[in-house]
Amino acid sequence: MTNRFPGFPARMDFTSVPTVFITRLMPEIDDINELKVTLHLIQALYHKRGYPRYVSFADLASDKALLAGLKPDCKTPGETLRHALDRTIERGVVIGHHVERNGASDEVFVLNSEEGQKGLEKLLRGELAVRAVPGGRDTGPLPKPDNIFTMYEQNIGMLTPIIAEELRSAEREYPAEWVEEAFKEAVALNKRNWRYIARILENWATKGKDGKPGRPAQREDPEKYFKGEYGHLVRH
């Protein structure tokens, strides 16, 4: 008999799962290994640092808990994992690409989203390098974002019209360096949500930061937000 789960703890981490996966993709998945690997990939990508967010085959193959949970359908655990990954790629949940890493060939996987596609394109063009970090943990500095919207998408997730409006307001209200540092602090603490970042900024504005009181950021031309890539998310 399976051991009964004792229940969720009072404090725990959460992973954001796209609604379209629950409503459209999950009902179509009839292979338990594919489902487990897909959920594991979503969780791993959600908690990754840096840009683009990716998970390598080496990372997955070294995860003993993942391999132990897969139902053997091939000769080795690695082959079982490979088979499940191929099904995930064929379904279009993730995109895989072979790269050179740590002096050896490996394969990295990105979520098949607009952000993931753009990041992979930059990798292929040589604009970004695959980080060669032992254990697959990305510990390097956060990249310099183009603006607060890019910073949000690279480190938290997909923009919504409500979040876009709040970001626009924060960019007007706080110095740019404060916003960037607040994002870095939240990511370092694995608090990847805008509410937490907003509280950091509000606290600095109220109590001061580095001995300096809060001050409004220098105003920029607001029309630039309606002309750019995210213009459809921000309304007058």
Structural domains of the chain ordered from first start: 19-136 (1.10.10.10), 148-233 (1.10.10.630)
Residue 221 or 89, more confident: 89
Q: In what order do the strands lie in the sheet with 55-56?
A: 55-56, 104-111, 94-101
SS3 assignment, position 113: coil
- CA 100, CA 129: separation in Å to the nearest integer? 10
Residue 49 or 30, more confident: 30
- CA 164, CA 167: separation in Å to the nearest integer? 5
Residue 5, pLDDT score = 85
The first and second tokens of residue 105, run together, are 């060939």
DSSP-derived letter for residue 222 is T
| Residue 145 clears pLDDT 80, i.e. is over it | no
Backbone dihedral region for residue 144 (phi beyond 0: left; psi -120 to 50: alpha; all else: beta):
beta
The first and second tokens of residue 68, run together, are 């132990």
Residue 156, pLDDT score = 83
Query: pTM for the complete prediction?
Result: 0.55
| Residue 36 clears pLDDT 50, i.e. is over it | yes
Residue 118, pLDDT score = 86
Q: Which of 25, 48, 142, 122 is nearest to 56 (CA)?
A: 48
- Structure confidence at residue 144 as a pLDDT band (50, 70, 90): very low
The first and second tokens of residue 111, run together, are 């979520």
Residue 35 or 126, more confident: 35
- Structure confidence at residue 212 as a pLDDT band (50, 70, 90): low
- CA 215, CA 195: separation in Å to the nearest integer? 20
Residue 71 or 215, more confident: 71
- CA 64, CA 80: separation in Å to the nearest integer? 13
